[in-house]
Chain A
Amino acid sequence: MTQRSRRFRRTAIAVLGVSSLVLAACGGDDDEPADEPAEAEEPTEEPAEEPAEEPAEEPAEDAVEEPAEEPTEEPAEGETVQIALVAPSAINDLAFTQSMYDSLERVAETRDISIDVSDGLFVVEDAGAAIRGYAEDGYDLVIAHGTQFGGPLAEIAPDFPEVSFMWGTSADTQGLDNVFAYTVRSDEGGYVNGMLAAQITESGTIGVVGPIDAGDAALYVDGFEAGAAAQDPAVTVNVNWIESFSDVALAAEAATSHISNGADVLTGTAQMVVGATGVAQQEGVPWFGTQSNQTPLGEDIVVASQVYHWEVVLEPILDQIAAGTLGGEVYTLTLENGGLVIEFNDAFGLDEAILAAAEETIAALTSGELTTGL
């Protein structure tokens, strides 16, 4: 083989390799769904290697910007707060990640914040690299949105005492002063959904498709079972933990399995449920959603969704950061504080009496008159 052809060969292979890596990186980093109108506060396209405005704690390199004598720990008043979101699935997954992204956008309507996103990071090591990268870039707040990111965060957060981190769902700050933990009483919405499902089922069997028996997923399922049992103790709730947050095909097969075993109402949690909702749609089986409003996954079958409003957590955390406190507290979404909202799908045509009973249950859980028992 001639030297020229060898050179050409190496060049071609290098081009392919680089393009593969670039595409893989671009695929994992997205900004805004194509089918949504641009918001006034548009997030920047990619995780910024150089933030649009240098955070206060980083000495400014540009001579025009006067460097602060002492690095300040919180953003100065009137300065854009730079927030980075690191998430395991896409920002439009109609589930866990979208719930946080939507909440950030709602916060952006009233606060001067910038949002950069690294989504689709199912691999924990990749997420860890992204978290560290944002911290190195001097972001004011880095959100590690996934229980599974706790390990890398415990190693990264101590290296950046001037950066504030948010981690959830978890009720543990890992003893770190610059980590806020956030969690959700997903059992409350689960209870309402379970109570509703027990009234809708005709076969007396309900199927649940869960990812891994942990975190807010486990709490939602426990609440769902408690609600169904409280409504009708004779109802059977079959739970299938597929042991994956991402395997859509396995979620679909779990839903099929539930239906073949007599289930005529389904629910599920986490981003892989799109497989299960597909089966529910094909079979015409009612579906109860959680995390985000899942009505777009099946306008005919989705009865109601428990929606996470993380702005209830984000607002006080941003206030704390502005006041100089970078972590050490735990925040929880509940029906009572407005962090959890049950959104009904009007197109489903839920019976008025059942709807009224659900509203009563929500009111009782909100006031504390009723508890899930968990």
Chain B
Amino acid sequence: MSDFFTMSVIVATLASGIRLATPFLLAALGETVGQRSGVLNLGVEGVMLIGAFVAYYTTLKTDSTALSIFLSLAAGVVMGLLYAFITLVMHAEQGISGIGIYLFGLGITDLLFQKQVGTPLPIGGLGTVEIPLLADIPWIGEVFFQHSVLVYTAFLLVPVVWFVINRTTFGLNIRAVGETPEAADTLGVSVNLTRTWTILIGNGLAGLAGGALALELGIFQQNLTSGRGFIAIALVYFGAWRPVGVMFGALLFGIVSATVNQWKTLGIIEGAASSLASMAPAVLTIVVLVLVSRRIDPPSALTRPFDRSA
């Protein structure tokens, strides 16, 4: 255990935790925007997979990281258009539709990967961007300022999303349609248009989250996301539908995962304890979820479709 409490190991663990938190954070921020407008999207996992495959395949073929990032986001937006059509135009039940999107993403990425790529060939990863001066600060520099561009993007999006939700007219509309869509509608707010935008934002960020994962790893494989999209949805509840809360949830999950990983590497936990420790992040999330859900209510209109003629 004493090996863990050396500064270099703690720094590496925290840096690893931030890296691990990034895909969760991107996807959960997008889902937060969607849920604040009353739209639950259980298809985040599938959209992440599509974003991951698009980013991987684009890099494999063009070697352009920038294009890969853009296309992973664009792929998410396209999936958002589909989801908006299903839930807002066709008024399909959100939970079931989301599961359909997840299965679609799982299947199509597996199929395309097998047909277009086959053997998992490595691609160049994102690489580290060291922030001048800050990256040189002992310990702090390594923890916070030696990451890929998508890590910085994810954390910078936290205040951006907070600002949009809480300080803009668009954000007010989002909150209004998420709480009392009928009242918002009588005040001239287009409920479906507002929800369409939040779905596009949410799915775009989910696609980007998948892209971040594939580019960070430099590889793609079937079911690459391994349930991260579902954890991102849980983190929205964990964070009580607030961007800062979601960020702390993602960080907690990432850092606990990284700590367990370090303990295994150092041989601090082994055997049966290793299996139990692997569950620690999920167990911790569930515990906090239970505590949070007793104090904070979700958006009133969450999962409730809006039908003006009803």
Beta-carbon contact of A296 and B265 below 8 Å? no
Interface centre among B92, B120, B264 (most CB of A within 10 A): B120
Q: Which of B97, B111, B224, B266 contacts A23 (CB 8 A)?
A: B111
Q: How far is the CB of A61 from chain B (nearest CB, A)?
A: 33
Contact A207:B122 (CB < 8 A) given known A17-B100, A253-B19:
no
Interface centre among B91, B218, B275 (most CB of A within 10 A): B218
A92 contacts across to B, CB distance below 8 A: 114, 118-120
Beta-carbon contact of B261 and A27 below 8 Å? no
| Residue A198 is within 8 A (CB to CB) of chain B in the complex | no
How far, in angstroms, from A277 to B267 measured CA to CA in the complex? 21
| Residue B45 is within 8 A (CB to CB) of chain A in the complex | no
A20 contacts across to B, CB distance below 8 A: 100-101, 103-104, 107
Of all chain A residues, the one with the shortest Cβ separation from B267 is: A238
Q: Which of A13, A30, A242, A272 contacts B114 (CB 8 A)?
A: A30
Beta-carbon contact of B104 and A35 below 8 Å? no
Beta-carbon contact of B278 and A120 below 8 Å? no
B258 contacts across to A, CB distance below 8 A: 253, 257
Of all chain A residues, the one with the shortest Cβ separation from B6 is: A261
Beta-carbon contact of B111 and A213 below 8 Å? no
Beta-carbon contact of B223 and A246 below 8 Å? yes
How far, in angstroms, from A13 to B90 measured CA to CA in the complex? 8
A21 contacts across to B, CB distance below 8 A: 103, 107
Interface string of B104-131 (1 = CB under 8 A from A): 1011111100111111111001000000
Beta-carbon contact of A260 and B100 below 8 Å? no
Q: Which of A35, A213, A244, A298 contacts B122 (CB 8 A)?
A: A298
How far, in angstroms, from A1 to B228 measured CA to CA in the complex? 38
Q: How far is the CB of B81 from chain A (nearest CB, A)?
A: 13
Beta-carbon contact of A9 and B119 below 8 Å? no
| Residue A68 is within 8 A (CB to CB) of chain B in the complex | no
Contact A261:B226 (CB < 8 A) given known A35-B117, A243-B278, A277-B122:
no
Interface centre among A90, A272, A296 (most CB of B within 10 A): A90
Beta-carbon contact of B110 and A282 below 8 Å? no
Total count of chain B residues near the partner, CB < 8 A: 58
Beta-carbon contact of B106 and A27 below 8 Å? yes
| Residue A322 is within 8 A (CB to CB) of chain B in the complex | no
Beta-carbon contact of B20 and A23 below 8 Å? no
A122 contacts across to B, CB distance below 8 A: 222-223
How far, in angstroms, from A242 to B108 measured CA to CA in the complex? 27
Interface string of B210-221 (1 = CB under 8 A from A): 000100111101
Beta-carbon contact of B117 and A257 below 8 Å? no
Interface string of A270-284 (1 = CB under 8 A from B): 011011011001100
Contact A120:B110 (CB < 8 A) given known A253-B258, A257-B261, A257-B265:
yes
CB proximity to B under 8 Å, residues A212-236: 212-213
Beta-carbon contact of B107 and A271 below 8 Å? no
Contact A297:B120 (CB < 8 A) given known A243-B274, A257-B265, A261-B9:
yes
CB proximity to B under 8 Å, residues A244-279: 244, 246-250, 252-254, 256-258, 260-261, 271-272, 274-275, 277-278
| Residue B271 is within 8 A (CB to CB) of chain A in the complex | yes
B257 contacts across to A, CB distance below 8 A: 250, 253
| Residue B262 is within 8 A (CB to CB) of chain A in the complex | yes
How far, in angstroms, from A296 to B118 measured CA to CA in the complex? 12
How far, in angstroms, from A89 to B113 measured CA to CA in the complex? 13
A253 contacts across to B, CB distance below 8 A: 16, 19-20, 257-258, 261
Beta-carbon contact of B107 and A26 below 8 Å? yes
Beta-carbon contact of A35 and B118 below 8 Å? yes
Interface string of A292-317 (1 = CB under 8 A from B): 00001110000000000000000000
Of all chain A residues, the one with the shortest Cβ separation from B15 is: A260
B97 contacts across to A, CB distance below 8 A: 13, 16
How far, in angstroms, from A12 to B9 measured CA to CA in the complex? 54
A238 contacts across to B, CB distance below 8 A: 265-267
| Residue B302 is within 8 A (CB to CB) of chain A in the complex | no
How far, in angstroms, from A260 to B270 measured CA to CA in the complex? 19
Give 7 nearest A-B pairs by CB, closest first.
Answer: A27-B110, A23-B107, A33-B118, A24-B107, A260-B12, A20-B103, A243-B278
Q: A16-B97, A243-B275, A254-B265 are in contact. List 17 more A-B contacts (CB 8 A).
A: A20-B103, A20-B107, A22-B107, A23-B107, A27-B110, A27-B222, A30-B111, A30-B114, A243-B274, A244-B226, A246-B223, A249-B216, A253-B20, A253-B257, A257-B261, A278-B122, A296-B119
Some 10 contacts from A to B, beta carbons below 8 A apart, are A19-B104, A26-B111, A27-B106, A27-B111, A93-B221, A122-B223, A242-B264, A252-B216, A253-B19, A271-B221
